[in-house]
Amino acid sequence: MTDAVGSIDMPDAQDEAPESRKKTRKGGKRGKKGPLKRLALFYRQIVAELRKVVWPTRSQLTTYTTVVIIFVVIMIALVTVIDYGFNQAVKYVFG
């Protein structure tokens, strides 16, 4: 009986692992470098990633900051009103 992959009795060639494989180091290429070289590589990668960042313009930054401040003020007002309402309700219930 066969299916699209192959015979049930015969395993696929890709399923078979060669027995004479050499063992590789766990660290790979990183395991061969010293700690200072790895640290230097890490910082080079950080700088490379920061160069990819699309930084906002001054007007975008001003707009985003204004939106955040307004949102925070609205949330403070909302929490204050709810807190005042709970305070009045507790005073009414418990005297």
Does some domain include residue 87? Answer: yes
The confidence band for 32, taking pLDDT boundaries of 50, 70 and 90, is confident
The confidence band for 78, taking pLDDT boundaries of 50, 70 and 90, is very high
What are the structure tokens assigned to 16, written together?
A: 């078979």
Between 75 and 5, residue with greater pLDDT: 75
Does some domain include residue 68? Answer: yes
What are the structure tokens assigned to 62, written together?
A: 């001003």
Q: What is the pLDDT of residue 87?
A: 97
Q: What is the pLDDT of residue 33?
A: 78
Does some domain include residue 9? Answer: no
14 close to 21: Cβ distance less than 8 angstroms: no
The residue ranges of DSSP E strands in the chain, in sequence order, are: none
- Please report which helix (H) or strand (E) contains residue 75, including its range: helix 58-94
Domain total of the chain: 1
Does some domain include residue 78? Answer: yes
Domain range holding 81?
56-94
Does some domain include residue 63? Answer: yes
Does some domain include residue 88? Answer: yes
Over residues 66-78, the mean pLDDT reads: 98
